[in-house]
Structure 1
Amino acid sequence: MTTGVRRRMGVEERRQQLIGVALELFSHRSPDDVSIDEIAAAAGISRPLVYHYFPGKLSLYEAALRRAADDLAQRFEEPQDGPLGARLIRVMGRFFDFVDEHGPGFSALMRGGPAVGSSTTNALIDEVRQAAYVQILAHLGVTAPSARLELVVRSWISLAESTALIWLDGRRIPRGELEAQLVHDFAALAAVSAAYDEEMAALLRRILAGEPADGTFGDLIGRLVALAPVAVS
Structure 2
Amino acid sequence: MAPKERRRQLVGIGLRKLVERPIHELSIDEVAQEAGISRGLLFHHFPNKTAFHDEVVAAAGRRVMRNTAPDEGLAPEPALEQFVRRYLAQIARRRDFYLALVFGRGAVALGGERVESLRTAIAQRTLGILGLDESALPVAHAWAAYAEDRALQWSGRPAGERARTEDEEVTHCVRALGALLGLEQSGPTD
Match of 2:129 among 135, 139, 142: 139
Which ranges in structure 1 are unaligned for 5 or more consecutive residues?
Answer: 1-8, 195-199, 209-216, 228-233
Match of 1:164 among 148, 151, 174: 151
How much has 1:36 moved relative to structure 2? 1.7
**Are the equivalent residues in 1 in contact too, given 2:127–2:133 (CA < 8 A)?**
yes
Question: 1:45 matched to which residue of 2?
Answer: 37
Question: 2:62 matched to which residue of 1?
Answer: 70
Q: Who wins on radius of gyration, i.e. which is larger? A: 1
**Are the equivalent residues in 2 in contact too, given 1:27–1:103 (CA < 8 A)?**
no
Aligned residues: 186
TM-score, with length taken from structure 2:
0.77
**Are the equivalent residues in 1 in contact too, given 2:10–2:31 (CA < 8 A)?**
yes
TM-score, with length taken from structure 1:
0.65
The superposition leaves residues 44-70 of structure 1 with CA deviations (integer Å, 9 ceiling, x where unpaired) of 222332222223322111011111112
Identity %: 27
The superposition leaves residues 103-133 of structure 1 with CA deviations (integer Å, 9 ceiling, x where unpaired) of 33322332243236x3x76222222222222
**Are the equivalent residues in 2 in contact too, given 1:65–1:109 (CA < 8 A)?**
yes
Which ranges in structure 2 are unaligned for 5 or more consecutive residues?
Answer: none
How much has 1:83 moved relative to structure 2? 6.0
**Are the equivalent residues in 1 in contact too, given 2:11–2:56 (CA < 8 A)?**
yes
- Within 1, Cα distance between the matches of 2:76 and 2:46? 46
**Are the equivalent residues in 2 in contact too, given 1:89–1:180 (CA < 8 A)?**
no
**Are the equivalent residues in 2 in contact too, given 1:160–1:182 (CA < 8 A)?**
no
Question: 2:74 matched to which residue of 1?
Answer: 81
Question: Structure 1 residues 69 and 189 mapped into 2: Cα distance closer, same or farther (>3 Å)?
Answer: closer
- The residue type equivalent to 2:178 in the other structure is A
The CA RMSD over aligned residues, in Å, is: 3.1
- The residue type equivalent to 1:133 in the other structure is A
1:157 partner SS: helix
How much has 1:90 moved relative to structure 2? 1.6
- The residue type equivalent to 1:21 in the other structure is I
Question: Structure 1 residues 89 and 101 mapped into 2: Cα distance closer, same or farther (>3 Å)?
Answer: same
2:75 partner SS: coil
The superposition leaves residues 146-198 of structure 1 with CA deviations (integer Å, 9 ceiling, x where unpaired) of 6xx843x3332111222233345454556x9246414323314534x58xxxx
The superposition leaves residues 208-233 of structure 1 with CA deviations (integer Å, 9 ceiling, x where unpaired) of 4xxxxxxxx6xxx3xx5xx9xxxxxx
Matched, 1:181 2:174: no
Question: Structure 1 residues 125 and 34 mapped into 2: Cα distance closer, same or farther (>3 Å)?
Answer: closer
**Are the equivalent residues in 1 in contact too, given 2:21–2:97 (CA < 8 A)?**
yes
